Structure 1
Amino acid sequence: MDFIRLAEPAGLLYGLAAEDALRAGNALPLAGGPAAFTQVDLIEGTQRSGFMPVASIPAAWLPVVQRVTQPPVSGTVPDGPQVMGILNLTPDSFSDGGHHSRAEHALAAGIRMVQQGAGVLDLGGESTRPGALSVTPRQEWERIGGVLEQMRAHLPNTVLSIDTRNSFVMAQALKAGANVINDVSALMHDPEALPLLAEQDCGVVLMHMRGTPETMAQHTQYQDIGYDVVRELGKRVQTAHEGGISPDRLMIDPGFGFAKTAEQNMRLLARLPILANLGCRVVVGVSRKRMIGAVTGEDNAAKRDPGTQAASLAGLALGPSVLRVHAVEGMVQAVKVWQAVHGAGRI
């Protein structure tokens, strides 16, 4: 796949307006979702064409643009947009540290999230916030293992994701019934991760990050936040393909809050459609993050859920996105209202 050439969609339409524009040949579908785009910026290296009507796209660029119009592959997560409930099984998470560190509390919280409409639960045993204390893979698994086993027993039909960058934890989790591995390092942290996952059939989330959680604040220099994130994630997608992970198993996460300033996070959020170039389902993880506080002035992370919901809805332009949040009930309501307004299928 050619990541030197990118097509950035713009001028999004929804509902009847999108249908009319598609019929008239004035728009193209975005990632198979409810949105259609009427203009596109063609980017080769650092050169941009400037936004042009879709009817004016040169023939040589049609394969690149077609990549943006195709529905993303789904993997092991149910079709349609999904809300992913976050369960931090750590004592030092930035927004809810310690709340779910006891197995019975975590299980009750997970069941409640599913009842509220979560299609996926994401369990994590290592905090990746800046300055977080490091733990060994075995310590991480001690936090996750018992909860995962109980979750699998009580929620047999729920997709369970494990937020880890360690192959030991991945292997144990998959044996215990996990469906998805969500790696903030995009399989770069542990050299054993890629060969391990190549032998499995689970879903895999590749997140964009530079450096490590300890050093990422030093790596926020971008020529263009949208182009750079897509190209860097594209290399990880290509490496995963070449390493034996089939495309239909992959999802991508642009990594909000990881090696990005608050301003860069917002610019990237505004340009989410450019991620359609990668052909993968998108995970949007902005929940309670500092970027929300920077805009709203809310210092208490636990009070940032309304801002989280507003920011997360941007991901629905990309069709079957996965919205990763701490507060499931409000997010599910927000998605249903968005779908009703935009004429999209219901969650």
Structure 2
Amino acid sequence: MIVARSGIRSATSLPLAGSKAVWFEPDQSQSTEDHARQSSVRAPLCGLTLDRPRIMGILNVTPDSFSDGGTLDGVMAAVERARRMAQSADILDIGGESTRPGAAFVPVSEEIRRTVPVIRAIREAGITTPISIDTRKAAVADAALQAGADIVNDVSGLLFDPEMAACVAQAGAPVCIMHAKGTPETMQNKPHYDDVLAEVIDHLGAQIEAALSAGIAKDRIITDPGIGFGKTLQHNVTLLRGLAELHDLGCPILLGASRKGFIGTIGGAEVPSERSPGSVAVALHGVSQGVQILRVHDTADTKQALSLYMAIVEQ
């Protein structure tokens, strides 16, 4: 078991995934190879080192996303938001299909129509921040990458579209593999696990192997436990408590919990846009577990909190 710690380190401790702020005591029953996988710094992502946490800003160009859907009126409005967000975010995550619980499927052509002009316009505006395309569909990913995106963020973990793995491999792009149980239409219909943490880790491990078999390099793979995707409130809390265990997979971890329903339930905030304080709290917990990428709506708030947190704990 990997237990993340901060503060004064012992002589036998190792940095957790190369972190300057988080460490762990290695399990002596494991091999030096295991310890190296758990402690080594992860490869840079689009030129961004991962020895410290990075912020991924959510920029949805959808009419129906659970928190910010329908708030952008046209391409230029999206570009202006991207420009502001880039001041506090390391990556921009652009999505054209809502994957909130109960969301309907969006055709490929419509998803491309929503996302590609925005990506192209962001690049034409001189904004160089790495862009992630949030999609389950290979044709959308391919069009976005050609328009200037850098990363593919697949909430289905390469399972929705059988062409996605080959698309990513051919492009040589980094890909985020997320765990989800079911589809957005059905995922919250009484999800059940015998051991949610173990099952999520096993699933991600299997999908990493599938990605490697498809020709995707290990240093191009990011993992995401899929908070809120086919999980109850208690499942989410259990995963958050055990996030450090995901480092045994040897890949960077992305945490996407921003403004989600469990934050509103626990924190007493029914309206998603009022969940920023709780979202920041969960993000900082993620950092305490060695998470490398925080996918958030409130990038400026998160950056400020992260700056203070790292100034206190970084060694």
Same fold (TM over 0.5): yes
Is the 8 Å Cα contact of residues 166 and 214 (structure 2) preserved in structure 1?
Answer: yes
Q: CA deviation at 1:219?
A: 6.3
Write the mapping of 1:289-304 to structure 2, written as runs, cut at 5 A. Answer: 289-304=260-275
Q: CA deviation at 1:133?
A: 2.4
Write the mapping of 1:24-43 to structure 2, written as runs, cut at 5 A. Answer: 24-25=11-12, 27-33=13-19, 34-38=21-25
Q: CA deviation at 1:261?
A: 0.5
Tell me, what secondary structure is at the counterpart of 1:31?
helix
Tell me, what secondary structure is at the counterpart of 2:18?
coil
Is the 8 Å Cα contact of residues 111 and 155 (structure 1) preserved in structure 2?
Answer: no
2:15 maps to a residue whose letter is P
1:202 has 2:189 as partner: no
- Larger mean Cα displacement after TM superposition, 251-260 or 309-318: 309-318
- Larger mean Cα displacement after TM superposition, 105-114 or 146-155: 146-155
- What does residue 111 of structure 1 align with? 83
Is the 8 Å Cα contact of residues 276 and 318 (structure 1) preserved in structure 2?
Answer: no
- What does residue 56 of structure 2 align with? 84
CA distance in 1, matches of 2:18, 2:190: 33
CA distance in 1, matches of 2:290, 2:232: 27
Computing the radius of gyration from Cα coordinates, the structure with the larger value is: 1
Relative distance call for 1:284 and 1:77 in structure 2 (3 A) is: farther
CA distance in 2, matches of 1:228, 1:246: 24
Is the 8 Å Cα contact of residues 220 and 259 (structure 1) preserved in structure 2?
Answer: yes
Residue number among 2, 11, 34 corresponding to 1:9 in the alignment = 2
- What does residue 277 of structure 1 align with? 248
CA distance in 1, matches of 2:145, 2:14: 39
Stretches of structure 1 that go unaligned for 5 or more consecutive residues are 1-7, 41-53
Write the mapping of 1:120-269 to structure 2, written as runs, cut at 5 A. Answer: 120-218=91-189, 220-269=191-240
1:233 maps to a residue whose letter is L
CA distance in 2, matches of 1:206, 1:244: 15
RMSD: 1.6
Is the 8 Å Cα contact of residues 272 and 314 (structure 1) preserved in structure 2?
Answer: no
Is the 8 Å Cα contact of residues 208 and 233 (structure 1) preserved in structure 2?
Answer: yes
CA distance in 1, matches of 2:193, 2:63: 33
Q: CA deviation at 1:105?
A: 1.4
Is the 8 Å Cα contact of residues 213 and 258 (structure 1) preserved in structure 2?
Answer: yes
What's the TM-score, normalizing by structure 1? 0.86
Relative distance call for 1:253 and 1:312 in structure 2 (3 A) is: same
What's the TM-score, normalizing by structure 2? 0.94
Q: Which has the higher strand share?
A: 1
Is the 8 Å Cα contact of residues 210 and 219 (structure 1) preserved in structure 2?
Answer: no
Q: CA deviation at 1:9?
A: 1.2
CA distance in 1, matches of 2:193, 2:39: 26
1:338 has 2:309 as partner: yes
CA distance in 1, matches of 2:62, 2:4: 42
1:126 maps to a residue whose letter is E
- What does residue 37 of structure 2 align with? 67
Tell me, what secondary structure is at the counterpart of 2:263?
helix
Seq. identity, %: 38
CA distance in 1, matches of 2:149, 2:128: 11
- Larger mean Cα displacement after TM superposition, 216-225 or 194-203: 216-225
Is the 8 Å Cα contact of residues 162 and 178 (structure 1) preserved in structure 2?
Answer: yes
CA distance in 2, matches of 1:257, 1:11: 23
CA distance in 2, matches of 1:240, 1:133: 27
CA distance in 2, matches of 1:122, 1:109: 12
CA distance in 2, matches of 1:256, 1:101: 29
